[in-house]
Amino acid sequence: MSDAIGVAILGLGNVGSEVARIIESSASDLAARIGAPLEIRGIGVRRVADDRGIPVELLTDDIDALVAREDVDIVVELMGPVEPARRGILGALNAGKSVVTANKALLAQSAGELAEAAEKARVDLYFEAAVAGAIPVIRPLTQSLAGDSVIRVSGIVNGTTNYILSAMDNTGAGYDTALAEAGELGYAEADPTADVEGYDAAAKAAILASIAFHTRVSADDVYREGITKISADDFDSARALQCTIKLLSICERLTDNEGHQRVSARVYPALVPLTHPLASVSGAFNAVFVEAEAAGELMFYGQGAGGAPTASAVLGDLVMAARNRVQGGRGPRASRYAKLPIAPIGLIPTRYYVRMRVADKPGVLATVAAEFSKREVSIATVRQEGEVDETGARLVVVTHKATDAALSETVAALADLDVVLGVASVIRLEGTQE
């Protein structure tokens, strides 16, 4: 058995507390798996107090001093915000400490800077817990599929939005009602903006795209739409189409007719056929669907958030980093050799669902169809839903694949037609063979 591996934990929230608890309660098992015991040298907190359930002598509000200590070998960052987490991680890496982090926002913004610091110091930077909680996604992409070519990574990576959309689908509730319920149950924060507007999912998409396609992708490169405009009427239409609605993160390697490749990373609500595996992912669960050239289709499913599930992923990384310390090795390094350009959303071909109110008069359908035809957007189906009343008729159009640019131009033209009283909803349709 080698000498103890010193661990510093930054942050003592739900995840940090659970990580500290597991290190203490599973000490003998972890030591046997690593080949050396883990010892917590200190825990960085904003407020040092004796009511934290942790020996007060382990607590410190001096993050810089903690990560620089000579008896600390690995730093586990679980503070959350970009700062002071970035400063703490860079301080640890520059001091030759390996780092485990769950900070998706920081990684989506500063992954390149952190990877370069880890490479210069020849230490590990692990972040499995940054995407999809306990679900192993990062390690399969960096190791299990290292010899394959990933084509697409798509999935549900935000539990809050998936809970809200599942509740709307199951109960017929509107968005505001479902959001309030999610808040009461602890699934939604007091300020849910990061979740419901897609920022959280976009940060995770940037991480997944960077790894899958060996290209540096930041959160600013990810096209993003949230779920705040999804209505009960949209779910009624989705059911009629044998679909449900999910907030999807989609990362894709696109190849044009001349063989040139680009990366697309995008987040938006989409209709998903009930026959697709992602349609059955309900509540606060997450799932990631990977398509690779040789391996084919793979799906990873499980708890995407919460103290215990996220702590499980953190401990997995901590064990790997500690083993490397004992054995004198290193984990996989960041791979950015491909340097593929980012495809703008306007070039991305997708199917669409368009719901509008139209006047109840002859020739309306032909007029509407003409606007789609002018921009070479092919219509797959057209249906009238509900009863005609003084506000007109509800018309739903589902297209074949068209670029985002062509569809946006079509929607703008529809809004200018006298016979179209309003375009109520435009949602993409994913997971079909067309």
- Note whether residue 392 is domain-resident: yes
Give this prediction's pTM: 0.91
- Note whether residue 86 is domain-resident: yes
102-140 confidence digits (pLDDT tens): 999 999 989 889 999 999 999 999 999 999 878 889 999
On whether 159 is known to bind a ligand per the annotation, the reply is no
The domain in which residue 222 lies consists of: 138-302
On whether 226 is known to bind a ligand per the annotation, the reply is no
- Note whether residue 335 is domain-resident: no
Active site residues: 204
Which residues, in sequence order, are CB contacts of 51 under 8 Å at separation 6+?
Answer: none
**Long-range interactions of 408-415: CB distance < 8 A, separation 24+:** 408/346, 409/375, 410/371, 410/372, 410/374, 410/375, 410/377, 411/354, 413/371, 413/374, 413/375, 414/354, 414/356, 414/368, 414/371
| Counted domains in the chain | 3
- Note whether residue 263 is domain-resident: yes
The answer on 311 and 289 residing in a single domain is no
On whether 302 is known to bind a ligand per the annotation, the reply is no
The answer on 265 and 153 residing in a single domain is yes
On whether 13 is known to bind a ligand per the annotation, the reply is yes
At 59, is the secondary structure helix, strand, or coil? strand
For residue 359, what is the domain's CATH number? 3.30.70.260
On whether 328 is known to bind a ligand per the annotation, the reply is no
239-294 confidence digits (pLDDT tens): 999 999 999 999 999 998 888 999 999 999 999 999 999 999 998 899 999 999 99
Output the pLDDT for position 33.
95
On whether 241 is known to bind a ligand per the annotation, the reply is no
- Note whether residue 334 is domain-resident: no
pLDDT band at 434; cut points 50, 70, 90: low
| Degrees, nearest 5: CA angle 12-17-22 | 145
